[in-house]
Structure 1
Amino acid sequence: MTYTVNCSILLTELPLLQRPAAAKAAGFDAVEFWWPFTSSVPADAEVAAFERALTDAGVQLTGLNFNAGDMPAGDRGLASWPARTIEFRDNIDVVAGIGGRLGCKGFNALYGNRQEASTPQEQDELAVANLVAAAQGVAAIGGTVLLEPVSGTPSYPLKSAQDALDVIAKTRAAGVDNVKLLADFYHLAVNGDDVPAVIEKHARDFGHIQIADNPGRGAPGTGTLPLGEWITRSRELGYTGHIGLEYKAAAESAFAWAIREPAV
């Protein structure tokens, strides 16, 4: 099984730049991150330190979020947020630059919460335009923009796989083919989506899979979701990518469930 450790939600007992090495020590060769900076265009020194932490640890960056705003405060992306479009567009080159230097191909663009200052139609049209721009920006490095349904945030409009797929269809109509569904099995299950049906219809075209158990968004085996069965079926139907570990767990026991090779 090819796992990638989300170092923005796991190993948080450590400073962010120490987490790639901790993931490596735990036996993993791949990591992913939410946007690890406080601004869309961080200082060159900040970017260099982040990249060095990964290369020094000897892990592959497999996924990186575009700037999604202040996540702890409830922000869930900038793609559909009119007042922050310039930030989103400025972020594209930074994301593509990091991806190009580190060989990362997957880039999660959170859609954004509904904003009272604009209509849903205005936000949806903007989101498509921004996602197309992001897709064009990472196409030169062979990148894919990922779009995911999210749970726990009522003002986030993409709740089901179909919600995201409808937006992806609009990006295709606008001329890009490198926007794909991020199938986070936890979010889909919590939102009441029919996860097995989504897998049967779309697994071959998943851009990425992420997992956590429910209830609690904990490690696999702490809840009731048949994550192993869902992953196996996705593989059978043609999904060949990494499985993102995006759950909450204490560092000392976070990976006790996983079969992996120890670091040498």
Structure 2
Amino acid sequence: MSHTLPYAVNCSLLFTELPVHERPAAAKAAGFDAVEFWWPFARAVPGDAEVDRFVAAVTDAGVRLVGLNFFAGDMPGGDRGLVSWPERTNEFRDNVDVVAGIGERLGTPGFNALYGNRLDTVADHEQDALAVENLALAARAVGRFGGTVLVEPVSGPQPYPLRTAADALTVLDRVRSETGTTNVGLLADLYHLAVNGDDVDAVLAEHTPRVAHVQIADAPGRNQPGTGELPLDRHLTDLQAGGYSGWVALEYKPTGATVDSFEWPAPRRRHA
């Protein structure tokens, strides 16, 4: 039996041919009820008018924002989060307030906190201790309205230390044990796990109860399902069989126009 999990559109990788504020409506027009975004602003703390415009774009489109990233620095330049970066901790914590404000207004359940690259100037154990502190702080902020902070293994830049599900779960265990924070969970991006060499079948068999959000792209290429070799439908079926009932975010780079990349999902899965 194939899964019946609903899909959400990542509007930071899809519909990039449109301005940011037009993407939620484009997702709705394509038949989807939910979207997610990386941090959609240039700064960690945008102006109130910028925030209001973004919130209105989601609300007016009639979609739900089911995932939002905390500010992660200069992503095109190689930054992958501020959570473990001592010199930018105040920037991260200021951003947490903005993220929580948006999330509360839009009823967002999941918030991706990219861990941050390893730094030559700071000992690993110092970065890890700071990360625990910052993840707990972020979780308290979004926990006020039922949100969960997500920790994600990522492929690509080697200085990013969380490569496998086990790496991320170690961090989550430490946050729980040292701070008592429970609203933290694994972001299972099946593309990142697969290209990093993780055994995705084993991860899902053992850790599905700890998965709080799912993202997909095919591999190689990080394009839409069907363009690579990953058994994504089987993985999603296994997730659902293991008790996962959340969203599956389409976080891929379309090979052509975004709307043309939606030919593979069943229309009924676009709705909650």
**Normalising by structure 1, what TM-score?**
0.98
Deviation at 1:253, TM superposition (A): 1.3
2:110–2:149 contact (8 Å) kept in structure 1? yes
Looking at structure 2, the residues matched to 41 and 35 of structure 1 have their Cα atoms a distance apart, in angstroms, of 11
Looking at structure 1, the residues matched to 185 and 247 of structure 2 have their Cα atoms a distance apart, in angstroms, of 14
Does the alignment pair 1:43 with 2:19?
A: no
2:30–2:259 contact (8 Å) kept in structure 1? no
Looking at structure 1, the residues matched to 262 and 77 of structure 2 have their Cα atoms a distance apart, in angstroms, of 28
The aligned residue for residue 104 of structure 2 is 100
User: Any stretches of 5+ residues in structure 1 without a counterpart?
Assistant: none
Does the alignment pair 1:232 with 2:237?
A: yes
Q: Cα deviations across residues 23-74 of structure 1 (Å, max 9, x unaligned)? A: 0010001000000011111100000000000111110000000001111111
Bigger relative contact order, structure 1 or 2 (CA pairs below 8 A, ≥6 apart): 2
Counterpart selection for 1:22 from 20, 26, 35: 26
The aligned residue for residue 66 of structure 2 is 62
2:132–2:175 contact (8 Å) kept in structure 1? yes
Which runs of at least 4 in structure 1 moved beyond 6 Å after TM superposition? none
The one-letter amino acid of 1:146's match is: L
Deviation at 1:208, TM superposition (A): 0.4
The aligned residue for residue 188 of structure 2 is 183
Q: Cα deviations across residues 5-24 of structure 1 (Å, max 9, x unaligned)? A: 00001110111110001000
Q: How does 1:173-252 map to 2 (within 5 A)?
A: 173=177, 174-249=179-254, 250=256, 251-252=258-259
The aligned residue for residue 120 of structure 2 is 116
Does the alignment pair 1:160 with 2:164?
A: yes
1:76–1:111 contact (8 Å) kept in structure 2? yes
Deviation at 1:187, TM superposition (A): 0.2
The one-letter amino acid of 2:97's match is: D
1:205–1:239 contact (8 Å) kept in structure 2? no
The one-letter amino acid of 1:103's match is: G
The residue matched to 2:84 in structure 1 has which SS? Answer: coil
Equivalenced residue count is 263
The aligned residue for residue 257 of structure 1 is 264
**Normalising by structure 2, what TM-score?**
0.95
**Which one is further off, 25-34 or 196-205?**
196-205
The one-letter amino acid of 1:83's match is: E
Q: How does 1:139-150 map to 2 (within 5 A)?
A: 139-150=143-154
Aligned CA-pair RMSD: 1.1
Percent identity over the alignment is 61
